[in-house]
Amino acid sequence: MKKILMLFIAVSLAYSCKSSKTTNSTAATNENAIEKKLQQTWILENLNGKVITEKDFSNAPKLEMSSSSFSGSTGCNGIKGSLESDGAGKLKFPNLTSETKKCDAKKEGEFMQLLRTTSGYSIENNKLYLSNQFGLTMSFKKG
């Protein structure tokens, strides 16, 4: 009787350990899938609720994101930096740097400031939406 009880306990423990590993693995896979959605080229369409025009930027700003960094342009100046995301809608652009060419772009400073204050994101219908503590700030289309 003791042997059967010990065998039952051992099998139960082994099964519960295996089940826990599977659950953790599934969560990690889901997080990585969200992260991979960000790893694209994104072209700015909307800045602070307004559709961008040729008057705003000489070329449309873009972001090229990898798993831990990004590069791109403000439409005139090149930008780059590190990228932080926990896969749950949080996103930051720490260590943002840019070139310092003289540009006619009227909205370049606003674009840079909004990147610096970004704290969240969502992806819907092949569009990337960035937000900060005050709400939606920018939207991008896949490039």
Which pTM was predicted? Answer: 0.74
Specify the CATH number for 39-142; select among 1.10.3720.10, 3.40.50.300, 3.30.420.40, 2.40.128.270.
2.40.128.270
Terminal Cα distance for the chain, rounded? 67
Is 16's pLDDT higher than 60? no
**Domain parsing of the chain, residue ranges:** 1-37, 39-142
Cβ atoms 57, 105 nearer than 8 A: yes
pLDDT above 90: residue 110: yes
Q: How confident is the model at residue 70 (pLDDT cuts 50, 70, 90)?
A: very high
